[in-house]
Amino acid sequence: MGIEILEHAFDPWQAVADYRSNHLARSKSGASAVFVGTMRDFNEGDDVQAMVLEHYPGMTEKHLQALVNQSMSAHNLDDALVIHRVGELKPGEDIVLVATFSAHRKAAFDACREIMEALKSTAPFWKKETLASGERWVEKNTAG
Amino acid sequence: MSINVRFFASLKERIGSATLEIDAQGITTVRDVWTSASGQEADEEMLVAINKEYAALDRTVADGDEVAFFPPVTGG
């Protein structure tokens, strides 16, 4: 399992390729499911110029590890990789990667969605947006 | 005999501090920690962690605990 919190921009597709070459026996995992979340330049009707993502060092990693572990057991995954950005982001930069690997597609699809939804609703991260008119904390995530 | 209190995101700005150390004397629950550290009523939407694990406002705290308060999470 891989859990990473990054303070710099990253390429999720390269990260998946690297993780597969370094950690996975390809002949075993027949299915890979990948979700990538990217920063938009709009939210709630306003143009967003930048964003700062705050986290709780120590708790965020521990919490992600627990929820990925739970999903890996529940779906009998071969492996999973979660990468999340913190710090300053610009629109177009990738925020989050969830990749799941399993023998068959159902487990990979289901676990990828489950980990992403659990991350959004429970992992300690907070977004603050910069608009033309000033800054604001994002109060809640979109439903889906 | 102290409790380490941490605030994140909008709560950190509201309190005006990221960390505080409070005397554990007379403190029983997380709610007591909040009242003592902030001087405000607890907001029921607020989330709490003790030693980096989610906890409820009525949970008992112990000397040396790290108690964190933060708003609903918005990652991903």
**What is the interface pTM, i.e. ipTM, of the complex?**
0.96
- Give pLDDT tens digits for A17-68: 999 999 998 788 999 999 999 999 999 899 999 999 999 999 999 999 999 9
Domain of B7 in residue numbering reads as: 2-70
CA distance B37 to B26: 13
- Chain A CB contacts of B70 under 8 Å are 56, 124, 126
Nearest to B24 by CA among B55, B56, B76, B67: B67
In a domain, B39, yes or no: yes
B45 part of contact set with chain A, CB < 8 Å: no
Q: What is the pLDDT of residue B8?
A: 98
- Give pLDDT tens digits for A110-136: 999 999 999 999 999 999 999 999 999
In a domain, B75, yes or no: no
SS3 sequence of B2-44: EEEEEECHHHHHHHCCCEEEEECCCCCEHHHHHHHHHCCCCCC
Question: At the top level of CATH, which class does the domain A2-137 belong to?
Answer: alpha beta
- Mutation test of the interface with chain B: which of A60, A125, A135, A142, choosing the one with the most B Cβ atoms within 10 A? A125
Looking up residue B9, the CATH number of its domain turns out to be 3.10.20.30
In a domain, B53, yes or no: yes
Q: What is the pLDDT of residue B61?
A: 98
Number of domains in chain B: 1
A51: closest chain B residue by CA: B75
Nearest CB to B52 within list A54, A62, A123: A62
A83: closest chain B residue by CA: B76
Shortest distance between the Cα of A36 and any Cα of chain B, in A, equals 9
Domain ranges for chain A, please list them. 2-137
In a domain, B76, yes or no: no
